[in-house]
Structure 1
Amino acid sequence: MSRASGYDPSAPYGGTSPCEWGGGDNEESRMNYDAIIVGAGISGMYQLLKLRELGMTVRVFEAGTGVGGTWYWNRYPGARFDSESYSYGYSFSKELLDEWHWTEHFSPQPETLRYLNHVADKFDLRRDIQFKSKVTAAHYSEATRSWDVTLEDGSHHTARFLITAVGPLSAPTMPKIPGIESFGGESYHTARWPHEPVSFEGKRVAVIGTGATGVQTIQEVAKTAGTLTVFQRTPNWCAPLLNAKIDEAEMSRIRARYPEIFERCEATYACFLHTPDPRGTFEVSPEEREAFWEKLYAEPGFGIWQGNFRDILTDRKANALLSDFVARKIRQRVKNQAVAEKLIPKNHGFGTRRVPLETKYYEVYNQPNVSLVDIKETPIERITPTGIKTTNAEYEFDIIIYATGFDAITGSFDRIDIRGVDGLKLKDKWRQDGLQTFLGVQVAGFPNMFMLVGPHTALGNIPRSIEYNVEWVTGVLHYMKDRGLTRAECRPESAKDWTDHVLALADGLLSMEIDSWMTGINRNVEGKDVRSVARYTGSAPAYRARCEEVAAGGYRELALG
């Protein structure tokens, strides 16, 4: 992977205390750390490592009891990668790449968590991480050019810089259904799954939700549950994962190909191993088109979504043809055609929402112990002490699983009381002015705050975006430290220009016509019922090129002082 301009990891400063940064008068010497990082997931861990290389004193505050972020919290049955394992892990250490053996092409959650714990141990990260420390507030002081961070226990901690590593999908939401607290059985949200095993053997289980986590959960629970009732509001287009084991010989071949693998990820549109085919849908014959789709459907991973014809997500007729192809596959795989029709989306085309990858998900509905309830036809009225009541039936359950997703992208920021210059709340700024960022990394009016994988950054294969974001932020801080600068804030005009660019890129995308977390919609969160452009939809190489341009120009788009 290429490294961000302005940052040379071979030349760390080393050994600087907080009060030495920028002179250190009495006010500044009271700071506890040079930087505070919120979150010990993939981005927080890597940022900690990089700031250590700059000789900065750093504290990471993590709400959980261990590292891992997404892979710490999401322990639900069936949780796993939908990016190839060897394209998902960190790329920065050859030694780490050489010693780790991925056992499956799409790693399951327990293995991924073991991997991240291995990384934490290998680089001795835990000594700078404080667990069971949920951040509730972060307030900027112009007088001291520092951030005051408050934890749930009431303690305060100060630092020159605040770096958020909170993740785009980390704030779970529960549905607005009356009576949830009244249920007398077991109930779980997929994103807050218990650490101890949950048995479904012979039990009456309900799953509410059929998004990516719902699909993964359903196909696992169905294997052992006495009965499984799926409550579906909106069906999603799903495609086969086609996972497989990786033996020692194959892993050796993968290790030899790591430079090629990461070069490929760096070159593709969304950092996956797959990237759009340069041909248009109608530039080939119907026979060639069908053969190409058959090939993609039979291959593992995101190829049918990320490696399809270049116009699939912009041309309505092209998308309709692909959607019809996948609908035919669903009808072939589900025996009961009435059920198949319920599982085929009617309100959006293939790929315009995130595509869940599955392993015999559709075949689950052929099992006698599984039933599907369309809650658009018969809405849920309430959760009862014994189960779920819809408009036409009452069901009894032993376990209810809420696969109801996240308050995506901005939700994790909204749940922290973040205040910038003059006490302006970040949530209020984004509500009043609309979502605005500079490169998805900074917000005007919030000096010395940097966001990792924040709104308006390139998402896609997220760890690839994380590594670049971390290295770019590290480059800014290296530049500042080298010059004795203590304040960095994106200029309002820089944020406006970048936001206008992000909005222009999204124009014409079919996905922007659809309600989904990718367009900022969550009916279970107040104020999240209007579509917005919350993510950068251009290519990752173009995003990096703009970031490199800013770095090479001496960060003129930031007000540094």
Structure 2
Amino acid sequence: MASATGPAAQAGNVTEEVDAVVLGAGVAGLYQLHQLREQGLRVRSFDAAGDVGGTWWWNRYPGARFDSEGYIYQYLFDESLYKDWAWSQKFPGQPEIEQWLHYVTDRLDLRKDIRFGTRVTAAHYDEDRGRWLVHTDQGDVVDTQFFVSCAGMLSAPLKNIEGTESFRGELVFTSSYPAHGLDLAGRRVGVVGVGATGIQVIQTIAAEAGHLTVFARTPQYVLPMKNPAYTEADQQRYKERFGELRATLPHTFTGFEYDFEHAWADCSPQQRETILEETYQDGSLKLWLASFGEMFFDQGVNDTISEFVRNKMRERLRGDQHLIDTLVPADYGFGTHRVPLENGYLETYHRDNVDLVNVRNNPIAQIRAEGIELSDGTLHELDVIILATGFDAGTGSLTRIDVRGRDGRSLADDWGRDIRTTMGLAKHGYPNLLTTAVPLAPSAALCNMTTCLQQQTEWITSAIRDLRSEGKTTIEPTARGEDAWVDHHEEVASATLVHNTTSWYLGSNVPGKPRRVLSYIGGVGMYRQKCTDEAADGYPSFART
């Protein structure tokens, strides 16, 4: 019996028939579209945004920029595509990133196969025909063999504060910040959230706002960013490293150019301090991703590194106990949450026009017409509210769509009970649904995203090519294959300190979301090898018919 029900079952409503639908036109979606087209497939891509860019189209908030070095946040499949673009600085900002994605799109002539301003609302698998019917909010009903999700791991914003519609001033979410910006001069501005996004906003707008009030709940370890402008000579130097980067990035622990080089046990206390200081002063994520890997597994090592970073933060906060208590983490270790890079963020709180409100034990109760009200009744009157309240990471982009697989099963219901995938590439019960940036792969959180998204889309492209060359039409993880991957993922994750924390890395920011470490923590290189082995061994974790 066909699993599709309701409108999806009405084949007469079909507006287009293709071989593959790609969801999303960001870093993964653009490359996936290019690869499948090169394979000769008829491909249609949909994106709710007004143009290409994915997260870099939506996140136009002040201060948005890379915290991966620009020269590694690039496609590596085409040397001329890489070398014909030049970054103006080490960590470029959103406008330049968006320009780069336009450059890629136009260079590869991708725009003609993408429908912008079009949100996919449903995707139902028709078991009788072995095909998906994909519906959009513009009335499209697309009949496709493959449904490939490149919707992103941070593309489903959380909007769970009561009273947002009652505010009589201007209220925006960072995930949909207006492209024209906001006039903050002389106005009372409130920012809710001090995660990576909130940090970038706060440090950028403090000098512009008449008065800035920051509402902080969960403090973050932060590392200072050094962001030099690039000369033509600088650009030439990194371009000459193309071959080295292409050979190296896919095999490091996190897909960055650097990797862990030191063993804690082999170093004296003085040597450890020197390494920590050198990696801290690098002005990148190197302290987190290339000092001592033991910080992820050994509580004693983590305690020492955490205190090193805390001391750096306390020094910059000049001993102000309120700032230290609110902004310096005390109940979790460095590296077990996302580590943001910043530029003058901590110093922002010394400005006369900036107030910091600790809402950990006195949370926000609601937004009222006048401003933000806390649980104890305190009202902070504001003219502008900027909400940097996070995302339903990994799963949200697909669970907000009515995705139904065999026997009408619902992906939202399945992931609502337990977050399970096979290598983050597919889900048992959903034939020909292939995925990037979903849970149980490094791309769910702990990776230089272009490194991991390129690898996943290339694996998907090869899997489809192999399937078609063998005269088969469907690929789906077996129950046994999925169990084996989930067991392996849990074995790796449970050995880390990340497993014991509370953060969006485990879905803890979404009420009722099943607890599981979203990202595979065995390393980008190891994950890549396991994916390569899976294909080379004839896809033993999958049923292919």
User: Which of residues 242, 259, 268 in structure 2 aligns to 1:275?
Assistant: 259
Shift of 1:271: 0.5
2:218 partner letter:
T
1:191 aligns with 2:175: yes
Name stretches of at least 5 consecutive residues in structure 1 with no aligned partner: 1-25
Q: Is the 8 A contact 1:204 1:227 kept in 2?
A: yes
Shift of 1:174: 1.8
Q: Report the residue type matching 2:342 in the other structure.
A: E
* Match for residue 343 of structure 2 among 359, 375, 379: 359
8 Å CA contact 1:505–1:537 kept in 2: the answer is yes
Residue deviations 1:73-121 (CA, integer Å, cap 9, x gap): 0000000001110001111111111210101101101000000011111
Question: Which of residues 461, 473, 497 in structure 2 aligns to 1:474?
Answer: 461
- Is the partner of 2:259 in helix, strand or coil? coil
- The equivalences for 1:125-524 within 5 A come to 125-176=110-161, 178-280=162-264, 282-335=265-318, 336-390=320-374, 391=376, 393-432=378-417, 434-459=418-443, 460-522=447-509
Whether the 8 Å CA contact 1:331–1:341 is kept in 2: the answer is: no
1:445-483 Cα shifts (integer Å, max 9, x gaps): 100110012211122111111111111111111112212
The percent identity for this pair of structures is 40
Aligned partner letter, 1:326: V
Deviation by residue 1:35-65 (Cα, 9 ceiling, x = unmatched): 0011111111000000011100000011111
Amino acid at match of 2:225: L
- Give the 3-state SS of the residue equivalent to 1:352 in structure 2: coil
CA distance in 1, matches of 2:377, 2:316: 28
**Counterpart in the other structure of 1:76:** 61
> Which amino acid is the alignment partner of residue 295 of structure 2?
I
- 8 A contact 1:134–1:152 mirrored in 2: yes
Q: Deviations over 1:516-561 (max 9, x none)?
A: 1111212xx4412x52132211111111111111111222322111
- The reply to whether residue 61 of structure 1 matches residue 41 of structure 2 is no
Paired with 1:532 and 1:314, the residues of 2 have a C-alpha distance of 17
Q: Contact 1:67 / 1:117 at 8 angstroms: preserved in 2? A: yes
Pick from 12, 19, 41 the counterpart of residue 26 of structure 2: 41
Preserved contact between residue 204 and residue 397 of structure 1 (Cα < 8 Å)? yes
* Equivalent AA in structure 1 for residue 308 of structure 2: F
Residue-by-residue CA offset, 1:401-444 (whole Å, 9 max, x unaligned): 00001000011111011000010001222334x22211111111
CA distance in structure 2 between the aligned counterparts of 1:389 and 1:438, rounded to whole angstroms: 44
Aligned partners of 2:483 and 2:402: how far apart in 1? 24
2:15–2:140 contact (8 Å) kept in structure 1: no
Contact 2:427 2:477 in 1 (8 A): yes
Provide the rounded CA distance (Å) in 2 between the counterparts of 1:180 and 1:513. Answer: 33
Three-state SS of the structure 1 residue aligned to 2:245 is helix
1:476 alignment partner AA = A
Q: Which runs of 5+ in 2 are unaligned?
A: 1-10
CA contact 1:31–1:160 (8 Å) conserved in 2: no
> Retained in 2: the 8 A contact 1:90–1:463?
yes
Q: Distance in 2 between matches of 1:106 and 1:236?
A: 20
Instruction: Report the counterpart of residue 70 of structure 2 in structure 1.
Output: 85
User: Structure 1 CA distance, aligned partners of 2:251 and 2:134?
Assistant: 38
Q: What is the rounded CA distance, in whole Å, between the counterparts of 1:112 and 1:500 in structure 2?
A: 38
1:153 to partner: Cα distance: 2.9
How far apart, in 2, do the equivalents of 1:164 and 1:536 lie?
A: 18
Shift of 1:484: 2.1
Q: Which residue of structure 2 aligns with residue 18 of structure 1? A: none
Q: How many residues align?
A: 529
The aligned counterpart of 2:7 is none
Report the residue type matching 1:234 in the other structure. Answer: T
Inter-partner Cα distance in structure 1 for 2:207 and 2:259: 34
| SS of residue matched to 1:301 | coil
Amino acid at match of 1:439: M
CA RMSD of aligned residues (A): 1.6
The residue type equivalent to 1:518 in the other structure is Y
Q: Which SS does the other structure have where 2:293 is aligned?
A: coil
Quote how far apart the aligned CAs of 1:279 are.
Answer: 0.8
Q: Is the 8 A contact 1:378 1:392 kept in 2?
A: no
Aligned-residue offset at 1:30: 9.1
What amino acid maps onto 2:151 in structure 1? Answer: V
Aligned mates of 1:416, 1:309 — CA distance in 2: 40
SS of 1:312's partner is: helix
Q: Any idea what SS the aligned residue of 2:369 has?
A: coil
What SS does structure 2 have at the residue aligned with 1:138? strand
- 1:105 aligned onto 2:93: no
**1:10 matched to which residue of 2?**
none
Question: Conserved in 2, the CA contact under 8 Å of 1:274 and 1:302?
Answer: no
Q: Which amino acid aligns with 1:153?
A: Q
Shifted more, 257-266 versus 491-500: the winner is: 257-266
> Normalising to structure 1: TM-score of the pair?
0.92
Letter in 1 for 2:172: Y
For residue 35 of structure 1, give the secondary structure of its aligned residue in structure 2. strand
Question: TM-score, normalized by length of structure 2?
Answer: 0.94
3-state SS of the aligned residue for 1:144? coil
